[in-house]
């Protein structure tokens, strides 16, 4: 395998037209090798887009096609990726899933249990530089050219903080410092945040062309929840985060995006657990009232939602309403939270399996739900919201759905293929109609880690219900 991993082009030169398969050809595809092969059945079935074929014993054709590939870097790259995508369903994990799925069709009573992998930070560490967390990855190789984003580093700050609380691994603190520092660097003097940073650590021009509300909301969420871990995190880091959020909160009242508003509410809730500042609670009320207004303007008997469509990060809206209810004691906020969340769950859970809203076409009111184009960030967001609702309401169905949603990463999806790679510690970027996107970017990998940590918390029966209910006992 080491030789194949270092191979630029794999040449398969069988003389036997009756040869059906080749083990080394499969190994070469698994290593991402572009292939030039004689047209045995195995090659003809798998090499479309992943290699070239030539006639048996035709050395001239072999030479021509080899030269063609050697001088076409773009085609070589495409074939490498196609080879990996084509061979992925044949991995040991996916093969096992395929076999058990076939058996289960003949014996539906079989209860398939998915084993949770150990928590791994390998890919996150590989994706992290002194600047922060790199945005994209080509398969499992970090793509430094893609630079860094506020969203990814905000999420990773939370993930690493939760991991540190769980494990007390001292090395986590170094990473926490990197991600917090990235957020602080992104904050401008007036308190709002920029989003895009290039590989050199400089802000890019598109920071000034795009709407950054949602990213600013996520930054407030990350800082606020981070501060709530003040009993576990060094005080100097908590102080830095507190200074940053104090400058940022003023901007949240100007948010228009329901998701930006929701992320901000969640962050403010956690931030105010310790400060108990009446002005923060007033801000939470103001933001939640904005969501109530949106909900009342759109919802009806059949459509219990805040907009006339469902897009990405949907779970944060009802979750934020629940946090607003916990902070203020408002039964209206809690009622809208539960009603809208149960409505969302009715759309994305079918037959004990999650299918989050497709990024190939958002789900519009009175329209059929789009299929495929599922992203890990939305599955993970649903898990986090389910965890919150379970802690508050203690309804077993929320906990059950957490497991169903988490199993999506392990193969409980329409392709019956794993989305999390236990070998690298990375998470694949998406589930399409006919294949898994094998790139393991920051957003997907962090999303998986947050989901995995939520499951660890729930499985170990860490009961935070009392914490939630008594946090604002004087309200």
Q: Summarize pLDDT for 21-48 with one digit per residue, the tens.
A: 898 898 899 888 999 999 999 988 888 8
- What is the reported pLDDT for 45? 86
More confident residue, 108 or 114: 114
Q: What does the pLDDT read at residue 460?
A: 67
What average pLDDT is seen over the chain?
Answer: 92
Q: What is the pLDDT of residue 308?
A: 97
Q: Per-residue pLDDT tens for 268-314?
A: 999 999 889 999 999 999 999 999 999 999 999 999 999 999 999 99
What tokens were used for 290?
């904005």
Work out the burial of residue 100: count CB atoms within 10 Å of its CB; fewer than 13 is exposed, 13-18 middle, 19 or more buried.
middle
Kindly state the DSSP code that residue 60 receives in the 8-state scheme: H
pLDDT at residue 324, rounded to an integer: 98
Q: What confidence score (pLDDT) does residue 470 get?
A: 43
pLDDT score for 115: 87
> Could you give the CA distance from residue 66 to residue 52 in angstroms, rounded to a whole number?
9
pLDDT computed for residue 474 by the predictor? 38
Which residues of the chain form CATH 1.50.10.10?
122-470
pLDDT digits (tens, 9 = 90+) for 415-472: 999 999 999 999 999 999 999 999 999 999 999 999 999 999 887 664 443 334 444 4
Contact status, residue 259 vs residue 199, Cβ threshold 8 Å: no
Sequence-ordered list of residues with C-beta below 8 angstroms from that of 313, at least 6 positions apart, any chain: 214, 259, 377, 378, 381
Q: In which band, very low, low, confident or very high, does the pLDDT at 475 lie, cut at 50, 70 and 90?
A: very low
CA distances from 402 to 352, 354, 373 (A): 10, 10, 20
Report the CATH architecture of 122-470: Alpha/alpha barrel (1.50)
- Region 62-66: mean pLDDT is 94
- Domain(s) labelled CATH 3.40.50.2000 in the chain stretch across 2-90
The sign of the torsion formed by the CA atoms of 131, 137, 138, 140 equals positive
- Name the band, by pLDDT with cuts 50, 70 and 90, for residue 103: confident
Sign of the Cα torsion 199, 202, 205, 211 reads positive
Percent of the chain residues topping a pLDDT of 70 = 96
Q: What is the pLDDT of residues 184-235, one digit of tens each?
A: 999 999 999 999 999 999 999 999 999 999 999 999 999 999 999 999 999 9
In three-state secondary structure terms, 169 is coil
CATH 3.40.50.2000 fits 2-90, yes or no: yes
Task: Return the pLDDT at 76.
Answer: 92
For residues 60-76, average pLDDT? 93
Q: Which two tokens stand for residue 145?
A: 């050219």
Residue given tokens 């395929």 in the structure block: 98
* Segment 126-175, tens digit of pLDDT: 999 999 999 999 999 999 999 999 999 999 999 999 999 999 999 999 99
Token digits of residue 15: 């003389």
**Strands of the 141-149 sheet, one edge to the other:** 134-138, 141-149, 196-197
């Amino acid at each position: 395998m080491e030789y194949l991993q270092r191979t630029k082009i794999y040449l398969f030169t069988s003389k036997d037209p009756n040869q059906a398969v080749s083990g080394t050809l499969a190994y070469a595809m698994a290593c991402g090798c572009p292939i030039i092969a004689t047209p045995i059945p195995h090659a003809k079935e798998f090499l479309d887009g992943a290699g070239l074929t030539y006639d048996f014993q035709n050395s001239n054709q072999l030479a021509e096609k080899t030269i063609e590939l050697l001088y076409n870097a773009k085609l070589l790259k495409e074939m490498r990726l196609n080879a990996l995508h084509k061979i992925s369903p044949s991995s040991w994990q996916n093969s096992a899933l395929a076999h058990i799925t076939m058996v289960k069709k003949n014996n539906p009573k079989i209860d398939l249990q998915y084993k949770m992998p150990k928590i791994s930070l390998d890919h996150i560490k590989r994706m992290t530089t002194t600047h922060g967390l790199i945005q994209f990855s080509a398969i499992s190789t970090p793509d430094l050219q893609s630079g860094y984003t506020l969203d990814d580093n905000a999420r990773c700050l939370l993930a690493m903080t939760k991991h540190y609380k769980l494990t007390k691994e001292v090395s986590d603190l170094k990473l926490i410092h990197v991600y917090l520092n990235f957020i602080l660097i992104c904050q401008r003097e007036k308190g709002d945040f920029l989003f895009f940073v290039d590989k050199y650590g400089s802000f890019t021009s598109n920071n000034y062309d795009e709407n950054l509300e949602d990213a600013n909301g996520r930054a407030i969420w990350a800082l606020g929840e981070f501060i709530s871990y003040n009993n576990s995190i060094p005080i100097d880091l908590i102080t830095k985060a507190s200074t940053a959020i104090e400058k940022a909160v003023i901007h949240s009242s100007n948010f228009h995006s329901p998701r930006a508003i929701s992320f901000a509410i969640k962050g403010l809730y956690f931030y105010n657990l310790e400060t108990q500042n009446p002005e923060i609670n007033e801000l939470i009320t103001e933001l939640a009232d904005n969501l109530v207004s949106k909900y009342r303007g759109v919802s009806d008997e059949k459509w219990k939602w805040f907009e006339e469509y469902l897009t990405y990060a949907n779970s944060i809206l009802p979750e934020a309403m629940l946090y607003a209810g916990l902070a203020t004691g408002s039964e209206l906020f809690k009622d809208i939270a539960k009603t809208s969340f149960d409505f969302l769950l009715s759309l994305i859970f079918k037959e004990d399996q999650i299918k989050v809203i497709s990024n190939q076409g958002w789900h519009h009111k009175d329209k059929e739900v789009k299929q495929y184009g599922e992203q890990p960030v939305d599955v993970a967001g649903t898990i986090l919201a389910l965890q919150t609702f379970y802690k508050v309401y203690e309804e077993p169905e929320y906990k059950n759905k957490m497991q169903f949603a988490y199993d999506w990463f392990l193969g409980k999806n329409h392709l019956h293929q794993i989305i999390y790679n236990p070998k690298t510690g990375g998470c694949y970027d998406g589930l399409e109609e006919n294949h898994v996107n094998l790139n393991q970017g920051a957003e997907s990998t962090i999303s998986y880690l947050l989901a995995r940590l939520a499951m660890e918390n729930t499985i170990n029966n860490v009961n935070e219900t009392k914490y939630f209910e008594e946090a604002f006992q004087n309200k």
